[in-house]
Amino acid sequence: MIQKFRNSILLSAIGDSLGWITEFEKSPHDLKKKYGVSHIEDFVEWEKFVGGRFNGYLDKINKGSYSDDTQLLLAVARSIKANGSIDNRYFSKIELPTWLSYARGAGRTIKNAAKKIGRKSAAWNNNFFKFKAGKTTIDYRESGANGAAMRILPIVLANHNDFDLIKEYIFSNSIITHGHPRAIVGAILYGFAIDKMLNQNVEEFSYETYLTELGKQIKLEFNPDFVDNEKYEVWLNTWNNDSNQDFLSLYEETVQESLNALRNIYKFIRDEKDTKDSLIEFGCYNPVTKGSGISTVIGGIYLAVKYYKDPSEAILKAVNSIGTDSDSIAAFTGGLIGSLYESEIIPPKWKEVQDSDYLYNVAENLYNIWDQGILTNPSPDIEALSNSLNQIKSDQYQEKEKINFDPLGKGVITNIDRQKTLTKGKYNLIIDVHFENGQSCKFSKLLDIKENSHIENYSWS
C-alpha cells in the first residue's frame, strides 16, 4: 500500500508540473513555436510574466517545477495531525497566508481567500468575502473552482477507508477558501474517487465496476449530516442569510450533477467516444466551467479510468488537452491512477520533478499516519534569531545565506535575481530558497531602488 501512496503524491505533482506548461497555451502551434514540440511529454524550462504589467517580473521556471496545486497540497499535508485529523486553524492562519509569499500559478479566488483569512475576524469556518474581478464583484458563495479539490489528497491518504471522516475533513478544509457547493462537492468527489481507487487491484480493474461503485450510493455517501454540529452552524446560517438560495438544496443539486457526470464517463468509455469530445461534454473546454471543481475532477476521473493501463498516457492526455485547466486535470489524473498501482510506475525522466525527495517523504508520512497513527516528519526547526523571509522589507539577502521562514523552517538562498519594473524607481527582488525539510520556493518582493541604494549599480536582468 505504501507504493500507492508514493505513486499518488508523485504523479499528482508530475501532472501539475507538466500541465502547468500547457495551461496558458492556445494551440499545439504555440507549443511548437516556444518549445520545438507540439506535444509536451518532458519537463522543459519556460518563462511566464507575473505580477501585472507595471510591477511584474519574468518568472524563470525550471524543469519539473510545480504550481499552486502541489504547493497547497503540501500545505495541507503539514496540517494533518497524527490521528489523521486536519488542523484547519493552523492551515488557515499559518500555512495559507504565508503561502502567498511563494505562490506560483495561483488563481484569483484562492489568492483572495488567503488574503482575507488574515483578518482578525476571519476563521476557518467564517471566511466570507467578496472581491473584484474587473468590473464584476465575486462573492465567496459563488466560488466553485477547483482550488479546494486540488489540495485534499493528503486528507484522503491519511484517513483511507473512513469516508465519513474524509468527507467532513474535506468539507471543513474546503470552506476556508470556497463557498459554492461545486467546489466543495468536487473536492469530496475527488476524495471519494481516491479512497475507492486505493482498494482496487490493477490486475482486476474494471471501469464498469469502479464507476458503478462510485455512483450507486453517492447521494447517501455525500450527505453532509455533520453540518448540524455547532462548528458549522454559524457558517451555514451566514451562507443562507445573505443568499437567495439554500446551501443544502444547492449542495444536493450539485451532487446530482456529479452523479450525472459519472454516468456520462461510463457511457462515453463504453461507446468509445473521442477523448476531446468527452472533455468538451464535461465542460473542461468551456471558459465558464473549465476550472470548475466538478468538471476538472470529472475530467481527471475519466482520463484515469479510460487509460488506466498506461499511467503516462493518461497524464499526457490531460497535459496536452490545450484549452483546459490542464495542470489541475493532470494532477487529478495522476493522483488517481497513482493510487491504483502497487508497483513503481514513474518513468525515470519524470522523477526529476521539483522536490521529489520531499514528496516521497510526505507520502511516507501520510502512510505512517494511516497505518500507525504516528507523525514521522518532525515540525521544521524555526529559529527566531535567523534572518527571516516572512517580512521582506529591504534588499539585505545574499546567495548561500541561511534564512528562516515560518512555517517551512530553515533554508539556504540558492539564487537571487533583480528585475526593474515599468514603474520608475521600482524593482522586484526574487529569491530562490531550498529548505531543510526538502521543499524549494521562490519569493518575490517589490522594492524601491532609492531605499536600497547599494544595488543602484546592479547589472539588471
| DSSP calls for 240-261 | HHT-SS-HHHHHHHHHHHHHHH
Q: What is the pTM of this model?
A: 0.96
Residue 244: closest CA among 320, 141, 164: 141
Angle at 295 between CA 177 and CA 13, to 5 degrees: 70
H helix and E strand count, the chain: 18, 8
Is pLDDT above 70 for 383? no
| DSSP calls for 118-132 | TSTT-BTTB---EEE
**What does the pLDDT look like over 304-344, one tens digit per residue?**
999 999 999 999 999 999 999 999 999 999 999 999 999 99
**Residues 278, 296: Cα–Cα separation, whole Å:** 12
The per-residue pLDDT for 135 is 84
Is pLDDT above 90 for 194? yes
Residue 441: closest CA among 409, 395, 398, 418: 409
The per-residue pLDDT for 382 is 64
Is pLDDT above 70 for 115? yes
Show the cell assigned to 107. 488563481
Break the chain into its structural domains and give their ranges. Answer: 2-372, 383-461
Q: What is the DSSP letter of 373?
A: S
Q: What Rg, from alpha-carbon coordinates, does the chain have?
A: 22
The answer regarding whether domain 2-372 maps to CATH 1.10.4080.10 reads yes
> Do 401 and 387 form a contact (C-beta atoms < 8 A)?
yes
> Do 301 and 4 form a contact (C-beta atoms < 8 A)?
no
**Residues 161, 367: Cα–Cα separation, whole Å:** 13
The per-residue pLDDT for 323 is 95
Is pLDDT above 70 for 461? no
Interaxial angle between packed helices 326-338 and 293-306, expressed in degrees from 0 to 180 and rounded to the nearest 10: 50
Show the cell assigned to 204. 482486476
**What does the pLDDT look like over 336-345, one tens digit per residue?**
999 999 999 9
Show the cell assigned to 428. 522586484
| DSSP calls for 155-180 | HHHHTTT-HHHHHHHHHHHHTTT--S
Torsion of CA 116, 140, 324, 334, to 10 degrees: 70
**What does the pLDDT look like over 159-171, one tens digit per residue?**
999 999 999 999 9
- pLDDT above 70 coverage of the chain, percent: 98
**Residues 380, 411: Cα–Cα separation, whole Å:** 10
* Mean pLDDT estimate for the chain: 95
- pLDDT above 90 coverage of the chain, percent: 88
The per-residue pLDDT for 385 is 47
Quickly name the fold that domain 383-461 has.
Answer: SH3 type barrels. (2.30.30)
| Segment holding 326, helix H or strand E | helix 326-338
The per-residue pLDDT for 384 is 57
The per-residue pLDDT for 45 is 95
**What does the pLDDT look like over 226-243, one tens digit per residue?**
999 999 999 999 999 988
Cα→Cα distances 253→149, 181, 222, 257, 258, Å: 18, 9, 12, 6, 9
